[in-house]
Every structure is written in C-alpha cells, then in structure tokens.
Structure 1
C-alpha cells in the first residue's frame, strides 16, 4: 500500500514537471538556507566548547568610573591573579596572569616568522585543556620554554621532531621547545595563540615591571580564572568585587574599580557592556538569523501549499473517482502527505548539494570554517526530523483540503471551489512578500549605516599611510638614518614613530589636573606618545595653535589635544593653558580636529598627544603619491632589512586597517543581502507558478476577450492586477514592522544614520518591479496566444 502511494506521487511529479520543479527547487533552496543558518548558529553556540572546562573558565574584568561614565575593561594590574589566589584561593582552581595576544618574532636558523602568542602562567595548559601532541601539560614550568601549536611547529621544523630545539625570541632570548599542542579550532577565543611562553619569562625580559613604584597603578595585563568544581560563578564574582579597591592608593579610589568574572560561555555572544552592565552582542545576530532561516523555509513551504491548493480543481475528479470506488478520507490524506514527503525528500537531497557548493562562499562571507556535519548523528536526526515536519506542514493544507471534496458534486460537474477558496493563497502570498520586503528594507538600512560611518570625517588623511610594528628596537635606534634614506630614495615623503597604531588606542592615562577641575572627578584620556613629524605624516588638521616642532625645546613638556578634550576640560581659549600630568605641568600648544581612531560608530574620546623618546611600538610612513606603491614598498623593505635583518618585513595599510572596523556590520549586511535575495527568489518562484496556473485556468476567458477586441496590454493588466495589489498590501504591512525593528537596531550606535522615506519608496518600487517581471512572462504569453486555439481547448 505504502509503495503504491509513492508510485502515484512520483507519477504526478513527472506528469506536472513545471510545478514539480518549482516545488522541489523552491523547497531545496529554502532548506539549504535553513541548513546554512543552522550550521552558522551551531558554530556560534559551540564557540569555545573545545575547552573541557568551558563552564568554569572566566576572564577577570573590572568596571571603572572616569570622565563621568562607567567603563568596562579587560586590562588588569599584573598583581591581580596573585592577589586573588592569596585571598580567595579556596574558590578557584586556577587564577592565571597573561600578556595580551601579540606578535613576536621567532626564528630558527634562517627561518623566521611573526605570529601572535601569549605569555601565560604554566597552568594554562590545564585550564584550557590543551591536547598535547608532544611533551606534557607541565611543559611551561621551565623558565625559558615555549610550546607551539601543531601548525606553527610544522612551519619551522616540518616533519622533524621539534622537542628540545632552540628558538630565538625577538632576536634577544633563546627558548627551548618543550611541547606541541593541537591547533585550537577557528571558533575558539584563543585561536590566534600560536605559541605560549612562560609568564616568568615575560617578567624577566621586562624589568620595568618589577621596578614599578605602585604595581596596582597600571593596567597592562590580563587575568583568567577557573573556579572550583563546587563553586558558583556568580557568587565567586561577587566575592572578589573589591579586590582592587582594597589595594589602590587613596587618590585612585575615585575610579571605584569593581572587579568581576565574565564567563567564557559569554565571551563570544555577550561581549558588549554599557554603564558597567552586560548588554549582549552577537547573540542578537543568532536570534536574527534564526528567525530569518525559519521565515525563508516558511516561504518555500508556502509555495508548495499555494501551488497544491491552486491545482485542486485539476485533481478534484481524481479524488471523486477514488472516493466513489471505496477510498476513505484517511487514505487520501496519506496519499497527499506521501506526495508532500516525496517532494521534501528530493528537496532535502538537493539542498545538501546546494549547501556543499555554497559553503566555501558562505564561510568567506561569515568568517567561518564550517563543514557539513556528515558524521554527526545529531545533524542527521535533526535534519530528518526537520524534513518530516516540513513535509507535514507543507502538505497539511492540501491533504486536508483536497480530501474533503464531495465525490457526487465532483463527478456531476457541479463542484466549485467557491469565491473564497483563493483567500488562503492570497494571504500566503502577502505573508511571503511581507517577509521579502522587510528583508530588502533591512538590507538597505544596514548598508546605509555602514556608508554613513564610512563617510564620517576622520580628522587625518589615511591614503598612502602604512603601519609597521616594531618587534625589536633596531629601527628605533636608527630612526633618523632610516628616515633620511627612505626620503632620499623617493619611497616616502615623511615618517614618524608612535606608541599606538593610527587606527587604535593602546594607551590611556589618568592623573591629569587643570585649573577648574572638580577634585572628585576621575579622568582617563587616550595619551599617545609620538615623535616629531607625527602630525605632518598623518596630516592631522590643526584648528588652533601649532604642531610639535624641533625648534622649541619646551615641546618636550607640551600637549597637542583634540577638540573633544577641549570640550570636556572646558577651556575656552586652550592655547597656552596648563594640564598637569602626575603633577608635572604640560602646556597645550595646539588643538586638532577629532580623529576617528577607535569605533567609527562611537563619539570621539578626548585625546592627548605628547612627544616621547620611547615611542618604539609603531612606525608610520607616508608613501610618495608620485611613485607606485609596489616600488615604494620594495625600497622600504630593502632599507629596513639593512638595519633590522632579524625581523620579517611586515606592514599594514592604514586604510585597510580602518576598513576592518566595519567588518561585523558589513558581514551582517552581506548575509542579510544573501538571505533577502533568496527570499525574493523563492517568493518569485511561487508567484511564477501561481501566475502560470492562473493563466492556464483563464485560457477560455482570455480567448473570448481577445476575440472581442482586448489588446495585449489590457490582458496583461487583467492578469497582473491581482498580484500587484497583494504585493502592495505586503509593502504596507512590512514598512511599519521594518521601521520598528531597524530603528531599535540603530539605537545601538551613537553615531548613526536616520531612516529616510526614500528607503521605503525604493523597496516598494523594487518589490513591484520584481513582481511585474515575474508575472509578465506568463501574462504576456497567455495574452499573445492564438484565441482560436484557446477556445478549441474548451
């Protein structure tokens, strides 16, 4: 019996090839989108679960109040881990200090690479449950040891055993390979940690740390913790809240540092804080794309339901005959569900093919490294259950509706579907295009917000600027010689040094006072140490006063400040005013326009710039605009190699680094565009099928109208009018929905665009144009048909 159901179902698919193609292809597309989004959500939700202690690991963070606001930081004093261990050790299994993940030069003979890694306390191997391929988890106990990721070890040593091999770190220190660990997955927060060095080595190679007057005065490291097996994360977090407040000097208590634990399970999906409170983050995208996936699949199901119910009259006689020879309604229901499940099964097979083909592009778009989980039983259980549910939902209305026909009326020819039979189809079409138009509007708004931020004045000229991060002090020592050779070569027009790259803030300071400052106000400003020529190199815009100059020896105790700093401080005429930094007076010599060096969506922070002899983190070069970039870079590399042969030559264009600040938003925009296109495509596929059916159903009417003198344009209007009205209804429903949700999304950004009326006009016009193009093919085809043939078919 069951095999007969599927035989009949298969014959019906072959009999109506056009409708079958639309059903299967549409469903396959919808299911492929659902699978892609499902894989993306699975990857997001499984972030960091590679680490066995996932539920018990946290980062130690702090809230501080300065400039009148509460800000949240991951940076810590280097004594933080030790202090927590000493006073709250019973609640923790590990509390470990770590450096920032940063690049260092490692070399073996002539091989040298610059990759990122961390200095960590030895127990990190246990805390992160690293899978040691060589050595043990005690590999970092030796003071001059290093453990490498599998891929990084292979880059240096190939297939040879790397154990006990000596490597050179930053051309200063020898370290011995004591272990190799399995590469961390792409969806790990520590994925860029290609090697780990002992924390004691960090302290010994940076003697200034031990010589600090107050170890609690500076935040420059990170601290990670694993709570005890029986401890509660929230309870332990509350215990350590005042650990820093109890150690800082009286003057620093104004910052009111509040320490807390941020669980590893929230790092990826809940990274954002506002006023000291966790406000979410990427989890919003998980919800958003999950909802989009459901709706896109629903659109594909709607196509199936619409085309099945639309063709009900064609199958009414079949139902009547089968009922008259003894078929009961339950058998007919099973028959129609069998057809539905066969369509879904075929669609599922095609959807897997679509996903396999689309995954490389989708991974690049979403910045993922996902694969279909072929060997994961949960994937198959969910997929098969998902397919069955989809088949039952898609086939429910046709099965229940068609099986209810009365055989007597059908066979006597008195059966009529009724004037309201098309209402459900119209409702479903409206639902389809409501979703599609909402996605179109959303896509436009996302890209408008990105473009709005991109068009924001940034206060300097990033064209032709490159950042070169200095791993050793060799270039710094030969700065003047290198600069002169580069300018004489014609490769650059200017060059400078800076404590921070042009597009980031690496250093902030407190301890500032000025006339009229509220004694109780704690302040913290980005304070970048630069060399002479910084302003000329990046071409910052001076509003008043002057730039740093070698002609003024007093500039060693001078500040150039931005407009936001002047506004915050409250100086009406800032030039010549004094700002004390740790009780040392600095004179404001210049005011510059605000430069966007952090988020392009946030207000610019008040910032200070001072001359520093120790600004050896970054070299910034302005390429000669009259020379090709390739030629200039080649000359720069040759001269840099001459004075720093131990370092690999690496550089970054500032405009490319700035463009990366839009990465998340552009990724969301591209994904939204991808899904919007598919949603519109699926909707149009269903519309095409319905238009084809309507044209077929009204063949006689069209023939009669043509004989009576109707033009092709009249007939095109007749056949297109109903669909246009439905799409217009969809647009009027989607506009308030889109406005409500997108307006809420934009509130996340302090620097944001508005929602202009033209966005809705363009979206509605686009939807109507797509509808007319979709329907017109069938409408014009029917309108231009020979009426004699149309009437003969009757």
Structure 2
C-alpha cells in the first residue's frame, strides 16, 4: 500500500513540475534559514560550557552607587582573588586574567602582539587542551610563554615549539622568554581567547597595598567547592571586603573627593556560563565575543517567519491545484478509498516534498554558511549538526513542517464529494478565508521586515554620515606608547618637513578617564581626560567657543591650564567657565584654570552620548598617538615618508597606522552586519510571500473561470478583467499593511531608543515601504490575472 502511495506521489509531483519546484524551493529556503539559525543559537548557548568545572566557575563583579545611580562593573583589582580565597570559605581557587600588548622582536622586525597575563593555575581551572608541556608548571616561571598551535607555527614554522625562545621587550631591552607549552587553538565558543599567555606580574608591594582594592583593570575568576552556595560566598566576600578595605576607602574618599554620599561597592558572583549573553556584565576587558540575546531572538524570528511563510505557500499552492485533482479524488472514493487513506496519501506527498526540501536545504545551508559566518561574525560548521540535540531538533522540525504543510490540504482534498467531481459540477466554495488570512499573515511579516530594513538603513546612514563636529578626513593615526613630550616634539618637527603633511598633533594613547573636584566643593565623577598639544584643535578643525587655545607662547599652559567641552561646562553648572578652577585629587590637589571651551564633538561613536571632556598639556603625561593630517592626493608618498621617519626615531617600536575615518566606521560594524542580515531576511520573506500570492491568484482564477468567460462574451476588456482579479489581492496586501505598520512603528521606536543620536521616524519612510510592497504584489498577481483574462472563453463555457 505504501509503495503505491509513493508511486502516485512521485507521478503527481513529476506531472506538476512547476508547482513542485516552487514548493521545494520555498521549503528549502525556509528550512535552510532554520538550520543556520539553529546553528547560531546552539553556538550562543554553548559558550564557555566546555570547561569541566564550568558550573562552579564564577567571575567576581561589583555593584556601585554614585549620586544615587546604580551601576555594575566586571573589572576588579589584583587583591580580590587572593584575599577572598584566603579568607572566605567555599572558594577553592582564583585566576586573574588581564589583557595587554607587548613588543616582540624577530630578527630585525618588531611586532606588537596581543596577549593575556594569567595566574599559574590557569590550566587547572580552565580546560584548554595542551598539545605539549605541563599544565601545572608551564606558567610558574616569570619568563615563560605559552602559545597556541597556530601561533607556534607562525613564530617557528612548527607546533613543536616547547623550549624555543621569543624576544620580548622589557623597558628598553629585549629579553628571552622560553616557550613552556603549546595548546590547541581556543574554541570559537570561548569568551577567553588568546594566542599567547604570560604569567601574571605582581610585586610584593602591590600585593600588600590596600589601595589596590580600588584599582579596576582585570577579570578575577573563582572556582567554588562543589557544594558551596554562590549567595553565601558572596555575602562572606562582602563582609570581609568591608572589614579589610573600609579604612582605605575612607582615606581615598577624603583624598580624591568622590563625595560625601560615596558608598563602598557590593561584591557578588556572576556565573561563568552567563557572561557571554549578559547585557549588564558582558565579556569585556580582555574577554571576547560578548553577545546580546536580542540577536538570537531577531534571527530566530526571521527564520520562523521564512519557514512559516514557506509552509503557508505549500498550503495555498496545494489547495490551488486541488481543482485539477478533483476527478482523481472522485475516482479514488468511488473505487473504495476512504478519507483516512486519502489523508495518508496527501500527507505522504507532503512529507516526500519535505524530504526533498530537507536535502536541498542542507546543500543550500552549506553554500550560504560562509556568508552567514561573515554576517554573524561566527566560525560555524555544519558538522555541528551531528550534535544529538540538534539532530533531534531537526527531526522534530521535519515532522512539524510536514504536518503544517500537508495537514490542512489533506483534510480539504479528502473531503470532496465524488458525484460533484466526476460530473464536473465541483468548484471551490466559500470565501477562502483561511487562504486569504494566510496571505495577510505573509505580507504582514514581509512588510514588517521591509520597514525594519528601511529603519536600520536610515539609522546606519545617519550614524556614518552625520557630522562628528570635527574633520576626520585624510587623518592617519600612528601609535607609539609612553612617548615623552620631547620625543613627540622632535618627531612632529621631522614630519612637518615633508610638504605632503599639513598638520601633526600628538595625543595620549587610548581613552583616559578620571574624576576631579570643582571650586565649590562639588565634583565631576567621570570625564574623558585628554593630553594634547596646541595643534590638536587645528588638526581636527574642532571649534573653540570661548577663551583661547593652548599656545607655545604661554609656557604656563603645560603647568596649570586646561580646556573643557560644553558637556563639562553644563555638568559643572558654570555660566562663565573661563578662569574657573578644577582640582585634580590624584595630582596632589593641583589646581588647573580653564582657559577655553571647546564645542562638543563626537570623540566616541554616535552610539554613545557625548560626555564631559577635559584637555591638558601636562608634561608628565605621556603621548601615545599621532594624528597626522595628509594633504589630498599625496597619501601614498606621505605614508612612505611617515614610516621612514618612524623607523628612524623609534627603531625598536612596531609601526602601524590607521586612517581615522576608517576607525570611526568600524564603530558601526554591528549595525552594518545587522543591516545586511535584516535585508536578506526581508528579501527572502517578500520573495516567498510572492510565491504564495501567485498560488492564491491561480486559485482565484480557477474558481472564477466561468465568470471570466461570461464577462468576456459580454464584452469586458482584458484590462477590466485583470483589474477585477487583482483588486482582491490588493485588498489583502492593504490589510497586511494596516497590521504591519503600527507594529513596525512600535518596534522601530523601541530599537532606536538604544541610540542617543538617532533618526526621526517619518511617515514618508512607511509610505515608501507600503508602495514597494503593493507594487511587488501587483507585479506578482498581474501575470496570472492577465493570463486568465486573455484565455479563450469558449473553453471555459463549453460544458454549460
């Protein structure tokens, strides 16, 4: 019996190749999307789960309150790990992890390498596989280095690197570091990523200095005993911290003036496995691959949309073709088939199509995977499908898809009355509410994604094209850490000798931030702290609103003069800022005078709000970056000159450069990727929705075949008939837009709330999206409508 069902299914599908192809194509795309998203979600939830002790590993984090505002922080100082382990029951071990860059010399070339410094028991707490070396001793000696397999091959041409030497800079000299172990490359689903590991450096004086309780720059992980309660351990940690650090806190609070309402931090433990998807305490400060669960929700929704629309298409197209199979059903019933057998037959065809679609989906997913990895910033592989949970998930997905796509058509087709079908008196009765509702659902989802695409495109364009308040064009950034002002001045003078270089401005490396008192005993708890010279504002064309700029004509500018931005003035509450005082607690309460106010500019990306900013020329602060303004059309020659001059002045430092405008664009990589992902989702949904609309137009034309014939006999034109057939579908699309537009408006506003600087949603954007959806729908149905209107009426009326 089942063999017969199978033969009939194959014959029916080969007889209707176009419809079979459309169904298989739609289901394949939907299933491929679902497979890729399941891979993504599996990877997200599997992060950091490969460690044997993973369920007992926690990160020490804090909750702070400043000026009544609570915040959480994942960084700690060097004391928390050892002191909590020694004085709190339930903590078995601790590991500190801090990221950094060091200069390595290979032959005559010097290269800066990113690395992690960790405690010696790193491999006892975390399960990173060692290929060669002893995990217990490989990090015990101060001049040890551990490499991954790929890094070992890069440095020495082979993974057999244990015992070999790397030359690393310490102060002004390069000293040998011995490779003591080689590990496998870090799993891609790990928050701790490294190519080099070095032992954590800490002097005896640093370990005894109680002020290091308040030095936040590293991650501290603890391994709890099997039966220890994280809540109990956290409470013990807090009690010990308050006992051990309270006097130091009072002293530092008095010295640095953080305010009379300042409170000691509250310590608690964050489960290691929750770190990757945490929005409050993400994997940062040297940890990598931090994610947001919202991404998984969005991708899952898109996959569900596409798969649902593909199933809706199957239903619509199958019912649309049911008129052609009416006689077949009638004959089957006359010769004795009952409804159950017909349901099995049609469900069998559904599952056969799904099986073909699943095969095609796997091939399609394999083809698309490299692009998906690039968009999602992953290194996924279809070999992950061999995971037992995922295989079970795909089997469930196959069954659900087969039932969803075939159950309703099977019930409809098996219910036809044989008398009507055999005497050609059969036609599809009713208003087809289900089919029309499904099309409305399809176009609601498609319209929603199209509007989302327009919104993301508009916001991305706003972020990348909005003036930043300074000129970032043709500016090259060259880094050289811990550079004295005398070194910077000499290098700057050399660069300005070249005619292709217009301006040069040194600045501190990275982002500095600090706090300070104001003259009225109030304070600003955080502001960006920049060390520049008198050329900085001119180089970046930053407007000066009040007062004057730094000047070489005023030697005192490098001693006690500062510039501030508008946000600083506003937060300080000053009406006349020139001449006001700022007291630097960390600098022995040295008083600085405001000599100028800089116009607010976006010194960070537009997805962050402009914060208070202060500029100084203090000689004791080192420079770390040069901003070099190159004249147009001289880029290649100027870059060659800059490199030559850099090697002349700093022969033992690695030379790298970045264009400032390119660095700014990298701040929006996340938005750029999501722009592409949502675009692909919108294209897929509108494409598959149009297939469903085409199926419904076929159904409508076949239901109204005789009506069309009569209208043509009575003189109706092709245009009027095509208009009558298309009108119903336009109504469905308009209903979908009425539903989609408010939903999209709400979702877009919620998404834009994440940006302090954002576009204003306009009805023009929604109107354009609606017009696009209507145009695509009309193009889809017009083909079938015109074809039906051009048909010979004699053929449709000859049986009457």
Under a length normalisation based on structure 1, what TM-score does the superposition of the two structures give? 0.91
Matches within 5 A, 1:287-298: 287-298=297-308
Counterpart of 1:549 (choices 551, 555, 576) is 551
Cα offsets for 1:445-502 (capped at 9, x unmatched): 22333333334442322222233332575x976323322222212343222332244x
Contact map agreement 1:122 1:141 (CA 8 A) in 2: yes
Matches within 5 A, 1:426-575: 426-470=436-480, 478-501=487-510, 505=511, 507-510=512-515, 512-518=516-522, 523-555=525-557, 556-575=559-578
Contact map agreement 2:693 2:780 (CA 8 A) in 1: yes
How far does residue 226 in structure 1 lie from its aligned partner after superposition?
Answer: 2.5
What CA distance in whole angstroms lies between the structure 1 residues aligned with 2:307 and 2:83? 54
Counterpart for residue 158 of structure 1: 157
Change (3 A) 1:214 1:611: farther
What CA distance in whole angstroms lies between the structure 1 residues aligned with 2:465 and 2:107? 48
> Partner of 1:748: helix, strand, or coil?
coil
How far does residue 82 in structure 1 lie from its aligned partner after superposition?
Answer: 2.5
Counterpart for residue 145 of structure 1: 144
Counterpart for residue 606 of structure 1: 612
How far does residue 411 in structure 1 lie from its aligned partner after superposition?
Answer: 3.0
Change (3 A) 1:71 1:633: farther
> Partner of 1:635: helix, strand, or coil?
helix
Counterpart of 1:633 (choices 639, 646, 665) is 639
What CA distance in whole angstroms lies between the structure 2 residues aligned with 1:172 and 1:324? 94
What CA distance in whole angstroms lies between the structure 2 residues aligned with 1:617 and 1:223? 30
How far does residue 221 in structure 1 lie from its aligned partner after superposition?
Answer: 3.2
What CA distance in whole angstroms lies between the structure 2 residues aligned with 1:74 and 1:593? 33
What CA distance in whole angstroms lies between the structure 2 residues aligned with 1:97 and 1:219? 12
Counterpart for residue 85 of structure 1: 85
> Partner of 2:579: helix, strand, or coil?
coil
> Partner of 1:215: helix, strand, or coil?
helix
Counterpart of 1:727 (choices 726, 733, 754) is 733
Contact map agreement 1:538 1:622 (CA 8 A) in 2: no
Counterpart for residue 582 of structure 2: 579
Change (3 A) 1:708 1:615: farther
Cα offsets for 1:741-766 (capped at 9, x unmatched): 33233333333333322222122111
Give the unaligned 5+ runs of structure 1: 275-279
Matches within 5 A, 1:216-365: 216-241=213-238, 246=243, 247=245, 248-250=248-250, 252=252, 254-272=262-280, 282-365=292-375
Q: Which moved more, 1:737-746 or 1:140-149?
A: 737-746
> Partner of 2:64: helix, strand, or coil?
strand
What CA distance in whole angstroms lies between the structure 2 residues aligned with 1:595 and 1:620? 19
> Partner of 2:154: helix, strand, or coil?
helix
Counterpart for residue 102 of structure 1: 100
Contact map agreement 1:31 1:348 (CA 8 A) in 2: yes
Counterpart for residue 38 of structure 1: 38
Counterpart for residue 17 of structure 1: 17
Counterpart for residue 625 of structure 2: 619
Contact map agreement 2:507 2:627 (CA 8 A) in 1: no
How far does residue 13 in structure 1 lie from its aligned partner after superposition?
Answer: 0.6
> Partner of 2:496: helix, strand, or coil?
helix
> Partner of 1:489: helix, strand, or coil?
coil
Cα offsets for 1:213-243 (capped at 9, x unmatched): 9434533333232333222334433433466
> Partner of 1:565: helix, strand, or coil?
helix
Change (3 A) 1:281 1:380: closer
What CA distance in whole angstroms lies between the structure 1 residues aligned with 2:419 and 2:508? 89
What CA distance in whole angstroms lies between the structure 2 residues aligned with 1:32 and 1:434? 22
Contact map agreement 1:67 1:522 (CA 8 A) in 2: no
What CA distance in whole angstroms lies between the structure 1 residues aligned with 2:698 and 2:19? 9
Change (3 A) 1:36 1:140: same
Change (3 A) 1:350 1:195: same
What CA distance in whole angstroms lies between the structure 1 residues aligned with 2:94 and 2:675? 40
Tell me if 1:775 matches 2:781.
Answer: yes
> Partner of 1:523: helix, strand, or coil?
strand
**Matched positions, count:** 773
What CA distance in whole angstroms lies between the structure 2 residues aligned with 1:182 and 1:477? 45
How far does residue 793 in structure 1 lie from its aligned partner after superposition?
Answer: 9.4
Cα offsets for 1:620-651 (capped at 9, x unmatched): 22232234323222221122122223333212
Change (3 A) 1:242 1:434: farther
Cα offsets for 1:724-780 (capped at 9, x unmatched): 110000010112222233323333333333332222212211110110111122222
Counterpart for residue 198 of structure 1: 199
How far does residue 783 in structure 1 lie from its aligned partner after superposition?
Answer: 3.0
Counterpart for residue 134 of structure 1: 132
How far does residue 606 in structure 1 lie from its aligned partner after superposition?
Answer: 1.2
> Partner of 1:272: helix, strand, or coil?
coil
Contact map agreement 2:101 2:113 (CA 8 A) in 1: yes
> Partner of 2:113: helix, strand, or coil?
strand
Cα offsets for 1:652-690 (capped at 9, x unmatched): 222222222222233222211111110111101121233
Counterpart for residue 286 of structure 2: none
Contact map agreement 1:623 1:632 (CA 8 A) in 2: no
What CA distance in whole angstroms lies between the structure 2 residues aligned with 1:298 and 1:327? 32
Q: CA RMSD in A?
A: 2.7
Change (3 A) 1:696 1:316: closer
Counterpart for residue 259 of structure 2: none
Cα offsets for 1:159-207 (capped at 9, x unmatched): 263112221113533211111111112332222x21111112xx46xx9
Counterpart of 1:678 (choices 684, 709, 721) is 684
Under a length normalisation based on structure 2, what TM-score does the superposition of the two structures give? 0.91
What CA distance in whole angstroms lies between the structure 1 residues aligned with 2:526 and 2:91? 32
Contact map agreement 1:500 1:528 (CA 8 A) in 2: no
Counterpart for residue 73 of structure 1: 73
Contact map agreement 1:437 1:731 (CA 8 A) in 2: yes
What CA distance in whole angstroms lies between the structure 1 residues aligned with 2:652 and 2:291? 41
Change (3 A) 1:576 1:68: farther
What CA distance in whole angstroms lies between the structure 2 residues aligned with 1:251 and 1:328? 90
Cα offsets for 1:104-142 (capped at 9, x unmatched): 222333465433111111112222212111111120001
Tell me if 1:382 matches 2:398.
Answer: no
